[in-house]
């Protein structure tokens, strides 16, 4: 085999190994996060989030930390193709593992930070009682359903579904460039999935069944063929569910059964 061909073959093998190693490490991180989420759901006796919550700094920090772990479990699997592709682009550079680790930390850091507004939303919702809570939940479901059908949703989803296209449009060199790429990707991912996370908090009260369902929808939208159609189908389902809650308010309480303590 000519030297150039051997060199190219070796480079391809090296890139494949870099991507495969990234997959393995991040899948392990996601698996550990899932074990924690399920363990908390199955062993903590605290009943859900329907109780009134008194805001405090310690509670906000604990909630945000738990939210960050849950986001690692829910969001890392669907972000693996993007991160593995980034790892292959760093193949052959000095210390390639550090840029990939920073990319992942920026991605997870932004999602963890969303725990702050989610905590405040939970506190606000806990102060609403009776039919008022049901109608607030119905309104949120309708808003989330409309967003799932929106052009903005499709734009963000397309960026998440096409790692190569994303890099071609956002590539920047150097360490600072890598951080900007990571931030842009995380922002698109947040833009794509924020409504589903609000549904998880307001309608599902962090119930384990809701965590699993929302995770499955996110992964299907981003990874399966026809993800755009899956997003629209989820939007229609949310609209129907919102209308059902508005017409039958007790349904809101049923949706919040089996909540995950945060």
What predicted TM-score, i.e. pTM, was given to this entire model? Answer: 0.86
Q: How many domains does the chain have?
A: 1
Percent of the chain's residues with pLDDT above 90: 53
Instruction: Write out pLDDT tens, residues 71-120.
Output: 999 999 999 999 888 888 776 555 557 788 888 999 999 999 999 999 99
The answer to whether residue 46 scores a pLDDT higher than 50 is no
Q: Is residue 165, in this structure, part of any structural domain at all?
A: yes
Instruction: Write out pLDDT tens, residues 228-252.
Output: 999 999 999 999 999 999 999 999 9
Residue 96 has what pLDDT? 58
When pLDDT is averaged across residues 121-129 and rounded to a whole number, the result is 84
Contact between residue 66 and residue 141 where contact means Cβ atoms under 8 Å apart = no
Domain range for 193 is 3-255
Contact between residue 109 and residue 37 where contact means Cβ atoms under 8 Å apart = no
Q: Is residue 260, in this structure, part of any structural domain at all?
A: no
Instruction: Write out pLDDT tens, residues 181-212.
Output: 999 999 999 999 999 999 999 888 888 999 99
Distances (CA, A) of 17 to 14, 162, 220: 5, 21, 26
Q: Is residue 126, in this structure, part of any structural domain at all?
A: yes
Q: Is residue 242, in this structure, part of any structural domain at all?
A: yes
Contact between residue 110 and residue 190 where contact means Cβ atoms under 8 Å apart = yes
Q: Is residue 261, in this structure, part of any structural domain at all?
A: no
Q: How confident is the model at residue 56 (pLDDT cuts 50, 70, 90)?
A: confident
Q: Is residue 193, in this structure, part of any structural domain at all?
A: yes
Q: Is residue 120, in this structure, part of any structural domain at all?
A: yes
Residue 89 has what pLDDT? 79
Contact between residue 50 and residue 256 where contact means Cβ atoms under 8 Å apart = yes
Q: Is residue 201, in this structure, part of any structural domain at all?
A: yes
């Amino acid at each position: 085999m000519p030297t150039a061909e051997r060199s190219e073959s070796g480079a391809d093998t090296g890139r494949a190994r870099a991507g495969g190693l990234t997959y393995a490490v991040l899948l392990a991180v996601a698996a550990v996060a899932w074990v924690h989420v399920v363990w908390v759901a199955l062993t903590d006796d605290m009943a859900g989030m329907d109780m009134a919550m008194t805001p405090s700094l310690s509670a906000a920090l604990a909630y945000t930390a738990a939210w960050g772990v849950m986001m690692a479990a829910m969001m890392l699997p669907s972000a693996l193709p993007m991160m593995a592709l980034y790892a292959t682009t760093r193949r052959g550079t000095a210390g390639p593992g550090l840029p990939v680790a920073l990319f992942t930390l920026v991605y997870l850091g932004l999602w963890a930070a969303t725990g702050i507004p989610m905590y405040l939303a939970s506190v606000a919702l806990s102060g609403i009682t009776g039919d008022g809570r049901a109608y607030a939940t119905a309104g949120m479901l309708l808003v989330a359903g409309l967003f799932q059908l929106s052009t903005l949703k499709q734009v963000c989803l397309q960026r998440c579904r096409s790692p190569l296209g994303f890099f071609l449009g956002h590539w920047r060199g150097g360490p600072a460039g890598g951080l900007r790429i990571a931030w842009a990707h995380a922002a698109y991912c947040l833009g794509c999935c924020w409504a589903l996370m609000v549904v998880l908090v307001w309608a599902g009260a962090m119930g384990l069944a809701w965590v699993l369902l929302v995770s499955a929808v996110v992964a299907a939208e981003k990874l399966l063929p026809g993800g755009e159609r899956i997003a629209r189908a989820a939007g229609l389902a949310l609209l129907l569910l919102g209308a059902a809650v508005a017409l039958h308010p007790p349904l809101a309480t049923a949706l919040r059964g089996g909540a995950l303590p945060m």
